[in-house]
Structures are given as structure tokens and as C-alpha cells.
Amino acid sequence: MVNNICKQSLTYITMRGKRPTKGRKRRARERILDSALVEFGRNGYSGATTRGIAARAEVNEVTVFRNFGSKKELFKSVLRERFPLEDIRRTVLTDVEMPIDELLANNMKGVLRVLRANKHMLMVIFSDVWKFPEMRKALYEIGFRQGIEFLSELMEAQMRAGRIKKMDPQIAARSIMGMIQGYFMINDLLGGSEYDEKEEERFIRGLVSIYLDGARGKRGGATHG
């Protein structure tokens, strides 16, 4: 009986000892991803090193390769697992009852908050990834293509509800995306101006007005096509 109790105790202790190992591995993997996001953002894909990423994550360089295989695969994992598309999906409102100008303004402000919370990811995007065709393709597929599809569906739902006029939903989506990305890049990434809440509100309202009502004046000529 004593032997059985000892065996059971040993088994219990052994099982308890294994569980943290898996947890530690998961935590190490997450630290590597977070570290890689910072290193890629600061140094670009070419300048970032697995040694630097490992040091920031407080793991051995071997651990980086054991988890991801190569710097290229680590970069792809950062795009897949750290790209803020899901945060944007959760932030964007799809209400078909809210006034359309309020809906668009709230969504623009919400997306800007997400982008600012993920500035390092955007720094990765605007680093030297353009030099690597495979990386560009991965970035487009994981981030922008899915984002365009999501926003296209949202705009198409607003068209079906008669809240905006019929048009190509992809063009509608890309135009909004371009306005917000351009504003964020100039003001936040390049430091074009100090953040001013009132000025940003005025700017967003202006974008919404142009988007919904157009900029053509009475003497702007007839619409063709």
C-alpha cells in the first residue's frame, strides 16, 4: 500500500512538473513574437537579427529557430498572429440604423485607435519588406486583402440598405482605407503634426462629408459614365 501511495505521489509530481514546461514554451513563443515585432519595426526585415530578437525575448537564439525555423518564417508568423485585423473587425460597427455619417466617423476613429495601438506592426509594413516579393505577397494576403474584403462586405451591406449609393464595393472600401492609412502614416509614423483631438475630429468629419456628398460644386460640370 505504501508503495502504491509513493508511486501515485511520484506520478502526480511528474505530471505537475510537465505542465509548466508547455506553458513556458507557449510564453517563450509569445515573447519571441512580441520581440520580433519590435525588432522588425525598428530595424526593418533586413536589419533585424534572430540574435537581437532572442536577446529582447530573453531566450536562446536556438529557441527562436526551434519555434519558427528561420527568420523568414518568424516574420510570416508575426504578420499572421500580430496583424491587428481581428482588433479592427471587433472595433468596426456594422449598424444599419445609426446615421451613416456617424457610423463612418466612429469607424474611422476606431480604426485609428487600433493602428496607434499597433504602431510597430505598421512600422514593419513600411520598412524594407518591399525588397522581398515573397514577403510582400504574405503581407498583402494576411493583412490588406482580408481587410479589403471585410470592408467591402460592410459597404455592400450599407448599399443594400439604401444608405449609400450603389457602386463597386471594393472601390468604396479601398478609398476609405486609403484615406485613413494616409492620415495615419503622415501624422503618426512620419510625425507630420502633434495630435489634436479637435483638429482630428474636424478632419474626419471632412473626410466623411467628401466621401458621402462628394466635392463637386454647381459649376463642376456634368457627371459622365
* Tens of pLDDT, residues 31-68: 999 999 899 888 888 899 999 999 999 999 999 999 99
Grid coordinates belonging to 133: 516579393
Rg, the chain, Cα only: 24
Grid coordinates belonging to 118: 499597433
With 0.95 as the threshold, say if the pTM is over it: no
Question: Can you identify the CATH homologous superfamily of domain 24-78?
Answer: Homeodomain-like (1.10.10.60)
Chain-centroid distance, C-alpha 86: 7
Higher pLDDT, residue 111 or 191: 111
Q: Residue 200, class by beta-carbon neighbours within 10 Å (0-12 exposed, 13-18 middle, 19+ buried)?
A: middle
Candidates 18, 115, 15, 36; CA nearest to 79 is: 36
Lowest mean pLDDT among 16-25, 71-80, 159-168: 16-25
pLDDT digit string (tens) for 86-133?
899 999 988 888 999 999 999 999 999 999 988 887 777 777 777 778
How many secondary structure helices (H) and strands (E) does the chain include?
Answer: 11, 0
Chain-centroid distance, C-alpha 93: 17
* DSSP tag of 145: I
Domain ranges for the chain, please list them: 24-78, 85-213
Q: Which pLDDT band, with edges at 50, 70 and 90, does 14 fall under?
A: very low
Q: Considering only the top CATH level, what class is 85-213?
A: mainly alpha
Q: How far is CA 75 from CA 27, 46, 104, in A?
A: 18, 11, 33
